[in-house]
Amino acid sequence: MTAKIRVAIAGASGVTGSSITNALLEDSDKFEVTALARPSSVNKPEYTKHAKRGAIITPVELKASSDLLVQAVVGMDVVISCMTLQQLDQEMALIEAVHTAGVGRYVPSWFGPCCPPRGVMLLRDMKEDILDHIKRLYLPYTAIDVGWWYQLSLPPLPSGKLDIKVEYSTTKIIGDGNTPWAVTDNRDIGKYVARIIADPRTLNKTVFLHGEVHTQNELWEILEKTSGESIPREYVSKEDLLKIITEAQAEISKGDMGRPAMASLGMAQYKYMLGIRGDNTLKHARYLGYLNAKELYPDVIVTPFQKYVEDVFHGRVKAAYS
Amino acid sequence: MTAKIRVAIAGASGVTGSSITNALLEDSDKFEVTALARPSSVNKPEYTKHAKRGAIITPVELKASSDLLVQAVVGMDVVISCMTLQQLDQEMALIEAVHTAGVGRYVPSWFGPCCPPRGVMLLRDMKEDILDHIKRLYLPYTAIDVGWWYQLSLPPLPSGKLDIKVEYSTTKIIGDGNTPWAVTDNRDIGKYVARIIADPRTLNKTVFLHGEVHTQNELWEILEKTSGESIPREYVSKEDLLKIITEAQAEISKGDMGRPAMASLGMAQYKYMLGIRGDNTLKHARYLGYLNAKELYPDVIVTPFQKYVEDVFHGRVKAAYS
C-alpha cells in the first residue's frame, strides 16, 4: 500500500474548488484532502458538505509570514489555490508558506481559458505575476487552464425557462459567432485535476484541459434543438468590445480599481480574446507550451455539451451562477 | 538535394551575431546567409568580412511598417536578431515584418544567462517583453540563452599581461566565489545555433546552450595554473551589489534611463543573479522549461575553459572586449 497523496486546497468552497475537492474525495484511497478555510468561513455549507464526505477542514488565515499557515501546509504533497484574483495577496502569502514548508507541488489559481502571457487580458497578466513569483522561488508547480465554461456559455431562452445570469456569461454572439473555442463543464475540471496533480510528467509545466471545441453558432443550435425554441441572435462586435475595454482602462488608469470597472474590463477582454482574437483553442495551447490533458489521460470521459444542455433544460442541474 | 535554409541575421556585426554568422557560413551547403545591415553601416569591416565569405548583405532600415523591411525577410526560413536591448524598437519592428512576411522561425535577441522571467534582472524583463510580443502574434520562434561568457569571466593578471576591460566583466569574486554557473565561449555559440535553428524539436521552445559549469574560485585557479601568477582575490558582497542596484533603480525611477544608470543596474543585477541567487545553472534551466542543447546535440564539441585561458594567455585570441 502506498501512502496517500496529501492535498490541501485554498478556496475549496468555490465553483472550481468544489469540483476539485469532490473529485479528490471520490478517490479517497488515493488522496487525503484538506480544505484551508478562513476561521470566519469555516461554517459555510460547502465546508460542512466537504467535511461530511471526509475532508479535513483546517481553519487558517492566509497572511504573510504566518507560522500557522506554514504549519497548515507542512507535509502536504500538493497545495492547490482556487482563490479569485481579488485574493491575490492571500495567494502570494500561501506561496511563501508553501515554499517555506517545502511542499512538493503548488497549483496556482489559473483555471481559465488559454491565452498568451501578457497584454491580452489583465486577468491573465495577474496570473502570470503569480507564476513569475513561483518561478523566482523555483517552487515546483503545475499551472492548469480549463478553457471557457459550459456554465457561462448559454443565452437565456425566450420562454424564460433558463434563468441565466448574464453578467459574466457569453450570452451574446461575439463577432460573427464562427470563432471556435474550447469549452468545459465545471463539473469535469476535478476529474482531470486529480490525474494531473499525481503525474510526474506535469511537474513544472502548464496543462490545458477542456471538454469540447465549438463556435457560438454551434452552441446556439444545440440549445435550440434541445429546447425546441428559436433564440433571437444578439451580437456584440469587435468595436463594441474595444470601446468597453478602452473606457474601463481609462477608469482604471485614473485609479479606479473598484469592482464595476475591473469586471467590465475583465469580461470585455474575455470576450475579445475568445471571439475576436480566438486564443482559446488547442492549437494555440500547444504553441504556448501547454500539455494537453486529453492526450495525457485519454481514458477520462468528459460531459458532452449536448448532455449538459439537456441536464440544464430538464432541470437536472442548475444553470450555473444563476 | 534539399533546398538551403535561408537565414537572415540582424546584428551580424556584433560578437554574438558574428559567432552565428561564421558558423552558418561554414556550412554553406546547408545555409544561405543574409546580413540585414543599416544602410549607414554597410561598409563596416565585419560586413565586408562576412560578404567575402559568402554572406548576402542587405541594406535596410529596421523601422515599423516598412515594406522594404518586409521584402527583405520574405522567403526567409529563419530570422535571427542579435541586436542589443538598446535597439528594442528596431527588434519590435523586425518582429512585425517577420510576422507579415510569414517567416518560418524567429530567434529573438536573448543569448544571455538563464534566469527566471521577471523581477530578477531588468534586462531579462525586457527580453520577456519581446517574447510576449512574439507570443501574442503566434509567431513561430526559438529563444536561445547561452549562460555567462568565458570572455567576461577573467580577472586581470598582476603582471598586466591580460588587458581585461573590467566594466562588463565578473572580474571580482561575487560572495564567496563558490556558486557554480554555466559559462560559454562566444566562439561556440554559433555552432549550437546552427543546429538549433534547423531542428523541428526546438520550434516554439526556449533552448539553453553552454560550455562548462564552474565556480569563480575554479576559474581563478585555472588562470593561476596557466599563468603561473598568484592573483589577489577581490570580493564584491551581496550587500555591495544590493546597494548599487537600489541606487541605480532610484536613478532610473526618477526618469534617468541614460547609459550609466542602466549599465550600473544591469551589471549589478547580472552579478547578483550569477553569484548570489545562483540562477544560471542547468538545474534551473530545466525547471524553467529550457531544452538542453548538450542533450539535443551531444556531438557538438565545445571549447574547454582551460583551452580558452591558454589561448588568451598565449595571445592566440584577444581577451574579448579588451
Q: What share of chain A is helix, strand, coil (3-state, %, to 5)?
A: 45, 15, 40
- Distance from the Cα of residue B277 to its chain's centroid: 20
* pLDDT value at residue B167: 63
Query: Considering only CA atoms, which of A4, A38, A43, A46 is closest in space to residue A24?
Result: A4
- Distance from the Cα of residue A19 to its chain's centroid: 10
User: How close, in Å, is residue A246 to chain B by CA atoms?
Assistant: 19
Other CB atoms within a 10 A radius of the CB of residue A52 amount to: 9
Chain B positions touching A288 (Cβ under 8 A) are 135
Q: In the structure grid, which three cell numbers stand for residue B21, read together? A: 554568422
Share of chain B above pLDDT 70, in %: 97
User: How close, in Å, is residue A186 to chain B by CA atoms?
Assistant: 27
Share of chain A above pLDDT 70, in %: 97
Chain A positions touching B116 (Cβ under 8 A) are 132, 135-136, 138
Q: In the structure grid, which three cell numbers stand for residue A240, read together? A: 463594441
Residue with cell 557560413: B25
Mutation target vs B (from A105, A106, A115, A118; most B CBs, 10 A cutoff): A118
**Residue range B6-39, pLDDT digits in tens:** 999 999 999 999 999 999 999 999 999 999 999 9
Query: Considering only CA atoms, which of B205, B136, B96, B128 is closest in space to residue A121?
Result: B136
Judge whether residue A307 has pLDDT over 90.
yes
Chain B positions touching A117 (Cβ under 8 A) are 132, 135
Share of chain A above pLDDT 90, in %: 85
**Residue range B106-144, pLDDT digits in tens:** 999 999 999 999 999 999 999 999 999 999 999 999 999
* pLDDT value at residue B96: 97
* pLDDT value at residue A314: 86
Chain A positions touching B138 (Cβ under 8 A) are 116, 284, 287
**Residue range B141-189, pLDDT digits in tens:** 999 999 999 999 999 899 888 876 666 788 899 999 999 999 999 999 9
ipTM: 0.94
Q: Calculate mean pLDDT across residues A156-165.
A: 80
Q: How far is it, in rounded angstroms, from Cα B18 to Cα A36?
A: 56
**Residue range A196-231, pLDDT digits in tens:** 999 999 999 999 999 999 999 999 999 999 999 999
Would you call B127 a catalytic residue per the annotation? yes
Chain A positions touching B126 (Cβ under 8 A) are none
How would DSSP label each residue in A54-114? TPEEEE----TT-HHHHHHHTT-SEEEE---GGGHHHHHHHHHHHHHHT-SEEE-S--S--
Mutation target vs A (from B105, B136, B204, B272; most A CBs, 10 A cutoff): B136
Residue with cell 538545474: B283
**Residue range B183-221, pLDDT digits in tens:** 999 999 999 999 999 999 999 999 999 999 999 999 999
pTM over 0.90: yes
* pLDDT value at residue A161: 84
User: How close, in Å, is residue B274 to chain A by CA atoms?
Assistant: 14
User: How close, in Å, is residue A116 to chain B by CA atoms?
Assistant: 6
Q: How far is it, in rounded angstroms, from Cα B85 to Cα B14?
A: 13
* pLDDT value at residue A160: 85
**Residue range A116-134, pLDDT digits in tens:** 999 999 999 999 999 999 9
Judge whether residue A322 has pLDDT over 70.
no
* pLDDT value at residue B169: 80
Out of A143-152, B17-26, B60-69, B155-164, least confident range: B155-164
Query: Considering only CA atoms, which of B125, B201, B156 is closest in space to residue B321?
Result: B156
* CB-CB under 8 Å, A138 with B119: no
Judge whether residue A315 has pLDDT over 90.
no
Question: Angle at the Cα of A193 (from A189 to A195), degrees rounded to 5?
Answer: 130
**Residue range B255-310, pLDDT digits in tens:** 877 888 889 999 999 999 999 999 999 999 999 999 999 999 999 999 999 999 99
* pLDDT value at residue A236: 97
Query: Considering only CA atoms, which of B46, B77, B74 is closest in space to residue B60?
Result: B74
- Provide residues of A within 8 Å CB-CB of chain B: 116-120, 129, 132-133, 135-136, 138, 204-205, 284, 287-289
Among candidates A118, A129, A284 on the partner chain, residue whose Cβ is nearest the Cβ of B138: A284
Mutation target vs A (from B99, B127, B204, B287; most A CBs, 10 A cutoff): B287
How would DSSP label each residue in A219-271? HHHHHHHHH-PPPPP-EE-HHHHHHHHHHHHHHHHTT--SHHHHHHHHHHHHH
* CB-CB under 8 Å, A205 with B289: yes
Chain B positions touching A138 (Cβ under 8 A) are 116, 284, 287
Catalytic residue, candidates B44, B49, B127, B161: B127
Contact between A59 and A34 under an 8 Å Cβ cutoff? The reply is: no
The CA-to-CA distance between both ends of chain B, in Å, stands at: 44
- The rounded mean pLDDT for chain A is 94
Closest residue, chain B, to A121 (C-alpha)? B136
Residue pairs spanning A and B at CB distance below 8 A:
41
* CB-CB under 8 Å, A117 with B287: no
**Residue range B230-249, pLDDT digits in tens:** 999 999 999 999 999 999 99
The phi-psi region of residue A65 (left if phi > 0; otherwise alpha if psi is between -120 and 50; otherwise beta) is: left
Judge whether residue A152 has pLDDT over 70.
yes
The phi-psi region of residue B96 (left if phi > 0; otherwise alpha if psi is between -120 and 50; otherwise beta) is: alpha
Q: In the structure grid, which three cell numbers stand for residue B55, read together? A: 554572406
Q: How far is it, in rounded angstroms, from Cα A46 to Cα B215?
A: 54
Judge whether residue B320 has pLDDT over 70.
no
* CB-CB under 8 Å, B289 with A204: yes
Mutation target vs B (from A115, A127, A138; most B CBs, 10 A cutoff): A138
Q: How far is it, in rounded angstroms, from Cα A254 to Cα B245?
A: 30
Backbone angles phi, psi at B243, to 5 degrees: -65, -45
* CB-CB under 8 Å, B135 with A117: yes
* pLDDT value at residue B319: 58
Residue with cell 544608470: B261
- Describe the strand order of the beta sheet including B148-149 as a list of residue ranges: B148-149, B181-184, B212-214
Please give the DSSP secondary-structure letter assigned to residue A2.
P
